Amino acid sequence: RSSAQSLLKFLSFVFLGTAAALALGGVLVILMFKNYSYLFQESYLSLPGWMAIATALLLLPTGVLAGSISIKSSRYQQGTLMYLLLLLLCLQVSSAVLAHVYSIRMASQLESAMSYLVYHHNGSCTQDPGNRAMDVLQRKLQCCGVHNYTDWLKATTASCHFPAHVPESCCKEEYSHCWGHLGHLEQLSQEGCLQKLEDQLCIVIMYVFWCCTVLSILELLAGVSNGFLMRHQPFYDFLIL
């Protein structure tokens, strides 16, 4: 019994500490998909982030309750803790599964959206939102094209660029007089945007995935410890259930 109480006390501090880490991961997922919303067709891709934030909020009372039970057991508190752990387990397993599925689907969707923006880019002649979106993406990530700068040479739509030019957003920040001329490749970001953005999104999503996975295991341990304590103080009033 003392071991179960000590484990619950330790896990209560872990739950309180990891609530902030999980909330941070959820916020990062939401912000990442919001910043690049024009590349995603489905708005529900940020769902794992919202579920992670909901889980983090539930972890706070769960941690406090686990700490309280480790000091002074109450059968009503033990029952409430068990229900909270079950709810958290469902939320975190769902978040982990969604994060894993979305990380697989993300690659093909990003490539399709970026290819469309590149092939329908009209240079700097118009204020088309698609043009601005691709230019902002290339400047922010310091990249050029989908896979590399040669993607701009395959663009089929009419452009204001000369044949040997790419958009100025492909230029590296340190070159202030860069006009996107292919004769000066050292001034251009030659890495593609797809891989860079994929890496960023994958890091954030996998962070949430592993947080949820590890916390699910810890919650199972808390449930086992709580169940062991409940054996010493059963719910006599509710044995019929």
From first to last of the 241 residues of the chain, give the pLDDT tens digit. 677 778 888 888 888 888 888 999 889 988 888 888 777 766 667 788 888 899 999 999 988 888 887 777 667 788 888 889 999 989 888 888 888 887 777 777 788 888 888 877 765 554 555 567 788 888 888 888 888 888 887 764 444 544 567 888 888 887 777 777 777 788 888 888 888 888 888 888 888 888 888 888 988 888 888 877 777 655 554 444 3
How far is 200 from 17, CA to CA, in rounded Å? 25
Task: For residues 181 and 187, give the distance between their C-alpha atoms in angstroms, rounded to a whole number.
Answer: 9
- Secondary structure letter of residue 205 according to DSSP: H
Give CB contacts under 8 A, 24+ apart, made by 153-161.
154/119, 155/118, 155/119, 155/121, 156/119, 157/119, 157/120, 157/121, 157/122, 158/122, 159/121, 159/122, 159/123, 159/125, 160/122, 160/123, 160/124, 160/125, 161/123
**217 vs 160, 167, 211, 214, CA distance in Å?**
57, 49, 10, 5
How far from chain centre, in Å, is Cα 43?
14
